[in-house]
C-alpha cells in the first residue's frame, strides 16, 4: 500500500513539472525537413531540403505567441534544366520572417496544435544560368503545426506555405518541418 501511495505522489509531482517546463516564455529551436517547390519554382527544380533556426516567445496562459525564423531552402535543378544549362546547379531561398502563432485550445494532450503566419524578407538565388543574381524581396507565409511533448523532449511538426516574387514571377514552396525546442 505504501509503494502505491509513493508512486501516486511521485506521478503527481512529475506531471506538473513537465507541463511547466514545456511552457517556457522564451525558447530556441532548430529544425529541418523537406521543401516542395510550388507554382513557378516547380518548373525546373526538384524537391529540396531546408534548415531552420527559431526564437519563440510565448506566455503560458495566452494563446498568441511570436516567432522569429531564419531558414535556408535549397532545390536541385532537374535533369532537363541541367542539360540545357550545361551543368548541375540549384536554386535557393533564404528567409528571415517574424510570425504570429495562435495555439488552439486542447486539454490533457501531448499535442498542442497551432496556426502560424507572418511576413519577412526572402533572398532568392541560383547557382547557374540567366537571372542568377541574388534578389531580396518581401513575402509571406502561413501554415499549421503542432508542438509535441513526449519523453521530456519539446519538439514540433509543421507545414507552411511561403510566397515571394523574383523577376516578376511568384516563388512559392511548401516546407514540411520537424524541429526541437530548447
**CATH number of the domain within which 170 lies:** 2.40.160.20
Residue 95: the pLDDT is 98
In the chain, the number of structural domains is: 1
Is residue 4 very low, low, confident or very high in pLDDT (cuts 50, 70, 90)?
low
Q: Provide the greatest CA pair distance for the chain.
A: 77
Radius of gyration over every alpha carbon of the chain, rounded to an integer in angstroms? 20
Q: What mean pLDDT, rounded, does the chain reach?
A: 86
| Residue 12, domain member (yes or no) | no
Question: Which structural domain, as residue segments, surrounds residue 104?
Answer: 25-181
> Poorest-confidence range of 43-57, 125-139, 155-169?
125-139
* DSSP assignments along the chain, one per residue: -HHHHHHHHHHHHHHHHHHHHTT-SEEEEEEEEEEEEEHHHHTTB--EEEEEEEEEEE-TT-SEEEEEEEEEEEEEBPHHHHHHHTS--EEEEEEEEEEEEEEPP-SS-SEEEEEEEEEEEEEEEESSSTT-S-EEEEEEEEEEEEEEEETTEEEEEEEEEEEEEETTEEEEEEEEEEEEE-
The model's pTM is: 0.83
Contact present, 126 and 90 (Cβ < 8 Å): yes
| Residue 114, domain member (yes or no) | yes
- In angstroms, the CA 144 to CA 86 distance is 39
| Residue 132, domain member (yes or no) | yes
Residue 70: the pLDDT is 98
Amino acid at each position: 500500500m505504501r509503494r502505491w501511495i509513493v508512486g501516486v505522489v511521485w506521478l503527481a509531482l512529475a506531471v506538473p513539472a513537465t507541463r511547466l517546463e514545456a511552457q517556457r516564455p522564451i525558447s530556441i529551436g532548430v529544425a529541418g525537413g523537406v521543401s516542395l517547390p510550388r507554382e513557378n519554382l516547380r518548373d525546373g527544380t526538384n524537391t529540396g531540403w531546408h534548415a531552420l533556426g527559431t526564437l519563440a516567445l510565448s506566455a503560458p496562459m495566452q494563446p498568441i505567441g511570436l516567432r522569429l525564423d531564419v531558414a535556408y531552402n535549397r532545390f536541385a535543378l532537374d535533369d532537363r534544366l541541367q542539360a540545357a544549362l550545361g551543368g548541375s546547379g540549384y536554386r535557393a531561398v533564404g528567409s528571415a520572417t517574424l510570425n504570429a502563432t495562435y495555439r488552439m485550445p486542447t486539454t490533457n494532450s501531448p499535442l498542442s496544435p497551432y496556426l502560424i503566419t507572418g511576413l519577412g524578407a526572402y533572398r532568392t538565388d541560383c547557382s547557374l544560368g540567366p537571372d542568377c543574381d541574388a534578389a531580396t524581396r518581401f513575402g509571406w507565409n502561413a501554415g499549421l503545426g503542432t508542438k509535441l511533448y513526449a519523453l521530456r523532449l519539446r519538439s514540433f511538426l509543421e507545414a507552411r506555405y511561403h510566397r515571394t516574387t523574383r523577376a516578376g514571377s511568384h516563388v512559392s514552396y511548401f516546407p514540411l518541418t520537424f524541429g526541437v525546442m530548447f
